[in-house]
Chains A and B, each alone.
Chain A
Amino acid sequence: MAGAVLENVTKTFGETVAVENLSLAVGRKEFLVLLGPTGAGKTTTLRLLAGLEQPDSGKVHIAGEDVTAQPPAARDVAFVFQQYSLYPHYTVFENLAFPLRAPGRRLNADSIRRRVGEISEMLRIGHKLNDRVTQLSGGEMQRVSIGRALVRKPKLFLMDEPLSSLDAKLREDLRVELKRIQRDLEATIVYVTHDQLEAMTLADTIGILQEGRLVQADSPRIAYERPATIYAAQRLGSPQINLIEAGRLGLAGGPPAAATAGIRPEDLTVGAEIGAEAKIIAVEHRGDEAVALIEADGLRLHALLDAGVSMEPGSRTRVAVRAESAIWFDSGERLVGAGAPG
């Protein structure tokens, strides 16, 4: 059974089309990550699911029920905002209890205390319950935000870049925790981010959005190996995929319609015995690996270097392309074949 479905949903703000004829399904217990740059319609999609926006056309279903006409309060969803959603005049406990005290839910004081206790332990903020939220650190605040969604056991969790305002270390910790919690609670989550690492690590399914349209919805592995369009290919992988015209650098043998080959940086071998002549332009060391910007056959390419290889900018070498790893796109930038089907 589907957790939530958007059916041909369109939403415009004045002249701007935020979401265009979008159809999207998230299964129960599934972790769907919507990935795309600013303005791709990610947040609007979440707000449509929550009922904070009304679609111009199309339908919204949650747990098999058409909720298009229902107000947010009736939908039994929880929303984690990027920031700002903790009430500064309340303590941590009161913030966590707030959804449980909503009219129509009205739990008794004991069960509220028990539930808040469970969740705060799970999120490791149990010792902060009596603090004002204004005294918390950024990471603690975001835990409380997530906790406020978790206390309710809603049908659907909606999370709008909940980790983006945190520093790198905290983001990584919370990311791991969030995935664990999702498994433990068997929660259905729609999660919005522009961070591909979050998308790859958290998602059961990645939905890639481009200008309000859904380009692809697949598992992270398939989205990476068989991107539906060049745009989708560019969203995943760091550094970005290299785009090479078919026929250059010895890239031949693609499907008949192939116009462009996408080569991931890890599929270029720099310093090979064979291959095209190349010049190293810059090298970026990332600790466990290094990324080289090279020029070959008049093209600028990114390549991942093996740890042992050391390259000086300006030096000449050879670069070999693993042709069998090419991802082929036609002249309409659509996938026509990938060397290593997943």
Chain B
Amino acid sequence: MKSGILKPGQATPLGKFLAGSAVALYALVAMIPLVWILATGFKSPPDSISYPPKVFFEPTLEGYVNLFTTRSRQTAEYIESLGPPKSWYEELVRRRNMVISGPSRFADRYWNSIVIGFGSTFLAVFLGTLAAYGFSRFKVPLKDDLLFFILSTRMMPPVAVAIPIFLMFRQLGLSDTAAGMILLYTAVNLSLSVWLLKGFVDEIPREYEEAAVVDGYSRLQAFWKVVLPQMRAGIAATAIFCLIFAWNEYAFALLLTSGTAQTAPPFIPIIIGEGGLDWPAVAAGTTLFLMPVVVFTVLLRNQLLRGITFGAVRK
């Protein structure tokens, strides 16, 4: 601002300060649960349930050790007979009169979440991109009806059809398989993906492709070299929405998976049932569970911001 004269709609310094403070305050309030989860993951079990709650505490990795291991309680004599602990985490466990009996299934479940979450996101975005391009550029018979039909799959919460899906999955042998879960999440995300991406393709002038086609490229090459790079923002935004849904999905995961294909969301609560209320282990699992979406979102944040505002300003 060169002069003191303000244009209409321009904030005064005081207004800016107040608006900034409000945003900062909101961010702070919104962050408290996340910070609490992060902190609880490093508390000892007694600290995690102490009253009044402890803001300052001595950090320990016990929660993370408990998250990744299964343990059994033993007598002091038995533990004595084992000799000195071979690692720092064994030492940590023995302090509570326990021995490690093996790894927990958290790593497997986490890996399932990654495979299913990213796999279904990739598929939903890939298929959505192709469908959106087709709907945007070609004469498709009954185009409007098809688009409405695709949208209508999201007119009720997916869980409303949980029972038919459960039965279908059982019949088709898809229950408790990663392929089945990827298929399911892809199907649920596809309508969002097609509609979001169609908006982005519609914004790209056809002249770009026509210029490329006249210049000697095939339609597919024109799509690859000209259209796709300009859809980047849209694809990033769509991918984040799809990933967040697939990553956080709880109800179907609980219903359709039990052993091999179980994802992290239904697994984390199980920890509570194993040997008392182990809140630090739950918090540790939750913290690790939050990471991929946070990292993914931070990596794509520039694209995301552009994508979301772009999509919002125009139709």
Contact = CB atoms under 8 A, between A and B. Distances in A.
Interface of A: 50-52, 71-73, 75, 77-79, 81, 83-85, 87-89, 98-99, 102-105, 148, 152
A103 B207 contact: no
Contact of A85 (B208, B217, B218, B221): B208
Interface in B212-230: 212-218, 221, 226, 229-230
Contacts of A88: 230
Interface string B181-213: 000000000000000000000000101101111
B173 to A, nearest CB: 44
A143 B210 CA distance: 19
Interface of B: 205, 207-208, 210-218, 221, 226, 229-230
A79 B210 contact: yes
A89 B212 CA distance: 14
Contact of B213 (A52, A87, A104, A152): A52
Contacts of B216: 73, 99, 102-105
B215 A103 contact: no
Contacts of B213: 52, 71-73
Which of A75, A89, A105 has the most chain B CB atoms inside 10 A of its CB?
A: A89
Interface of chain A, main secondary structure: loop
A51 B207 CA distance: 14
5 contacts: A52-B213, A73-B213, A73-B217, A79-B210, A87-B226
Nearest to A47: B210
A81 B230 contact: no
Contacts of B230: 88-89
A103 B211 contact: no
Contacts, number: 56
Given A52-B210, A88-B230, A78 B205 contact: no
A81 B211 contact: yes
Nearest to A98: B215
A108 to B, nearest CB: 16
Nearest to B205: A84
B217 A103 contact: yes
A72 B205 contact: no
Nearest to B210: A52
B214 A72 contact: yes
B210 A78 contact: no
B221 A52 contact: no
A104 B213 CA distance: 13
Given A72-B213, A104-B216, 9 more contacts: A52-B213, A73-B213, A78-B215, A81-B210, A85-B207, A87-B226, A89-B229, A103-B217, A152-B215
A43 to B, nearest CB: 11
Contacts of A73: 213-218
Which of B212, B215, B221, B230 has the most chain A CB atoms inside 10 A of its CB?
A: B215
Which of A73, A78, A89 has the most chain B CB atoms inside 10 A of its CB?
A: A73
B207 A84 contact: yes
A152 B211 CA distance: 13
A152 B215 CA distance: 9
A102 B207 contact: no
Contacts of A75: 214
Contacts of A77: 214
A78 B210 CA distance: 11
A26 B217 CA distance: 26
B217 A102 contact: yes
Which of B208, B210, B221, B229 has the most chain A CB atoms inside 10 A of its CB?
A: B210
Contacts of B229: 87, 89
A272 to B, nearest CB: 53
A196 to B, nearest CB: 25
Which of B205, B210, B214, B221 has the most chain A CB atoms inside 10 A of its CB?
A: B214
A87 B214 contact: no
